């Protein structure tokens, strides 16, 4: 059979923070749509949040409705970065909701169908009073069946060379809707390319703010790789790097990225700000593909792209971002 070809983006409409999973031979994708990103959910979707896509080959996608029954509007109008886990016959949709970039909380919703509707479980995963800004929840199941949740939250300290800003943590799920409350730091920003904004007013102070977000964990060769996006999502500094650990709870190290993100980075004049990835297995089960969003050169929309992920002796690398025809 001749190889199929595709050209990025693989879906023409706005579809940021793409998370792809496979269930019973069908690929599903869920992401942040334009209304969710702009805080206009009530105007655009009324009762349902987060666009869903469906595919049989990873490259041809169709819109399949919206996933989440909107929870209490008082929680906010910005809904970001959903991901889905399947456990014991139930689909769990993890997401954040809040008001612009000031207060965001992590929540989970459930459904018996991959396309929903998903019903919110009724309580936050992390206490909003103890953690005012938590985003980008990413569930991961280890080989022994135990589930964990990786996510991003804000830090203000700058000891031992770390930078103030948003960074990554992990906690164990004692059930699919409850965390153990024993979060550990996964990675903190340490590099200039991870800067989000200098002199940013935050929490009553002014900070040189750095950002690590969009965690995605994959176990390979007995090690845990936590992919993440660093920098500012609206600029060409944004890209995908990773940390590696011997244990799922860490410690993780991303040493070696001083020159910039090692997995995906902007290609001036062609692709801007590739990031917030998930990982999907090819239809034949033989290859890993990194699924991410990227801006067009006019920065009109973030759209879903895929590219082959290579596991090299130096760590994971990607042949992308690509914008010309590729073989699947």
Distance CA 187, CA 226 (A): 9
Distance CA 113, CA 90 (A): 8
Residue 145's CB: how many other CB atoms inside 10 A?
7
- The DSSP call for residue 325 is -
Q: What is the pLDDT of residue 1?
A: 47
Distance CA 222, CA 127 (A): 33
Distance CA 264, CA 245 (A): 20
Phi, psi dihedral angles at 34 (to 5 degrees): -65, -35
Distance CA 162, CA 167 (A): 10
From 280, 288, 279, 131, select the one nearest 214 (Cα to Cα): 279
Q: Which two tokens stand for residue 162?
A: 């770390």
Measured in whole angstroms, the distance separating CA 251 from the mean position of its chain's CA atoms is: 21
Distance CA 157, CA 183 (A): 17
The predicted model scores a pTM of 0.96
CATH number of 5-327: 2.115.10.20
Distance CA 113, CA 47 (A): 18
Q: What is the pLDDT of residue 43?
A: 57
Tens-level pLDDT at each residue, the chain (328 residues): 456 899 999 999 999 999 999 999 999 999 999 988 877 776 554 589 999 999 999 999 999 999 999 999 999 999 999 999 999 999 999 999 998 766 899 999 999 999 999 999 999 999 999 999 999 999 999 999 999 999 999 999 999 999 999 999 999 999 999 999 999 999 999 999 999 999 999 999 999 999 999 999 999 999 999 999 999 999 999 999 999 999 999 999 999 999 999 999 999 999 999 999 999 999 999 999 999 999 998 999 999 999 999 999 999 999 889 999 999 8
Distance CA 10, CA 18 (A): 11
Q: Where do we find the tokens 């920098």?
A: 231
Residue 73: strand, helix, or coil: helix
Distance CA 107, CA 122 (A): 8
Q: Is the Cβ–Cβ distance between 244 and 253 less than 8 Å? A: yes
Domain limits, the chain: 5-327
Q: Which two tokens stand for residue 66?
A: 């919206």
The 78-87 sheet, strands edge to edge: 78-87, 90-99, 103-111, 119-120
Distance CA 151, CA 241 (A): 15
């Amino acid at each position: 059979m001749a190889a199929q070809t595709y050209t990025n983006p693989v879906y023409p409409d706005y579809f940021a923070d793409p998370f792809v999973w496979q269930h019973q031979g069908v690929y599903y994708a869920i992401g942040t749509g334009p209304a969710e990103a702009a805080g206009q959910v009530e105007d655009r979707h009324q009762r349902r949040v987060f666009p869903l896509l469906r595919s049989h080959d990873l490259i041809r996608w169709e819109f399949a409705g919206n996933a989440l029954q909107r929870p209490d509007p008082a929680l906010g109008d910005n809904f970001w970065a959903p991901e889905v886990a399947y456990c014991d016959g139930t689909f769990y949709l993890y997401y954040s909701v809040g008001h612009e970039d000031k207060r965001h909380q992590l929540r989970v919703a459930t459904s018996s169908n991959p396309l929903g509707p998903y019903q919110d479980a009724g309580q936050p995963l992390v206490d909003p009073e103890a953690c005012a800004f938590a985003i980008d929840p990413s569930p991961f199941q280890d080989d022994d069946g135990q589930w964990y949740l990786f996510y991003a939250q804000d830090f203000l300290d700058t000891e031992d060379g770390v930078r103030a800003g948003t960074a990554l943590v992990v906690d164990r799920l004692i059930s699919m809707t409850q965390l153990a409350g024993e979060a550990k730091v996964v990675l903190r920003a340490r590099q200039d390319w991870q800067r989000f904004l200098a002199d940013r007013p935050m929490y009553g102070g002014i900070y040189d703010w750095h950002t690590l977000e969009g965690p995605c964990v994959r176990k390979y060769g007995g090690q845990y790789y936590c992919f993440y996006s660093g920098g500012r999502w609206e600029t060409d500094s944004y890209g995908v790097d990773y940390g590696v650990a011997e244990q799922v709870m860490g410690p993780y190290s991303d040493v070696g990225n001083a020159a910039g993100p090692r997995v995906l980075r902007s290609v001036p004049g062609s692709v801007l700000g590739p990031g917030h990835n998930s990982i999907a297995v090819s239809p034949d089960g033989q290859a890993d593909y990194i699924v991410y969003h990227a801006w067009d050169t006019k920065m009109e929309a973030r759209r879903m792209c895929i590219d082959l992920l290579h596991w090299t002796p130096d760590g994971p690398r990607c042949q992308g971002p690509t914008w010309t025809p590729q073989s699947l």
